[in-house]
Homo-oligomer: A and B are copies of this chain.
């Protein structure tokens, strides 16, 4: 079972998910059979990290040969990196700073790492693209000013896919001039990932056929119900080498 941060949030809390049995609505539409050969720990990534990261790339509508920037390389951003690289991206800029995440981002197909601790990320992108910017941006992290950066580094005709939950502030700001005064054909989309059985089956088949390997993100594995507290504390304390912990029951 995957320890999803949403389970820590009382808005999303559903009694019983940490129990042996629990209720699923519309099971035929929402429960997928694990395909043979799919590691159970890896499978836990499918319903959240994989779905969300892949959806970011769908929202940004990556096409063959696009230069893509993924902002944020926590687990969702890492899956967006993996998704962009099997969706046709050429140059793939991953924005992050944590050593373990950078290592995995490269394994997932990032061609360049943009470390925000080494300077403004827009400037770094513009330098690497010779002032042209990128075709697509997936926002999978950052703060309230990330949209400003995304619009600024985006080419006219480009598209932003946001899968980051924006938790504070009254407004997300679009920089007017960089948005072409509303005329620049820079499309902004953002959404919660669609789920469902068929989609899970499709994404599971990407794992089975070796197109994507979410297990690289499982940097901590535990066996047994007793380790749930420890795993939860890991997610709270976020040690340097943590991407996702998993507890196998």
Contacts and interface: CB of A to CB of B under 8 A. Distances in A.
Nearest to A193: B183
Given A166-B176, A171-B176, A173-B174, A64 B185 contact: no
B58 A209 contact: no
Contact of A179 (B90, B168, B172): B172
Interface stretch (A15-23, A79-87, A115-123, A238-246): A79-87
A64 B203 contact: yes
Interface residues on A, range: 35 or more
A175 to B, nearest CB: 6
Contacts of A175: 170-171
B205 A91 contact: yes
A2 interface: no
A69 B205 CA distance: 15
Given A181-B166, A182-B162, A211 B171 contact: no
A238 to B, nearest CB: 22
A215 B204 CA distance: 32
Contacts of A163: 182-183
Contacts of A196: none
Which residue, of A92, A186, A209, has the highest number of chain B Cβ atoms within 10 A?
A209
A12 interface: no
B201 A190 contact: no
A164 interface: yes
A180 to B, nearest CB: 8
Given A164-B182, A165-B183, A205 B88 contact: no
A65 B201 contact: yes
B176 A185 contact: no
A189 interface: yes
B192 A185 contact: yes
Interface of A: 54, 58, 63-67, 83, 85-92, 111, 139, 147-148, 162-176, 179-192, 199, 201-206, 208-209, 211
The 3 closest A-B pairs by CB, nearest first: A65-B202, A90-B205, A185-B191
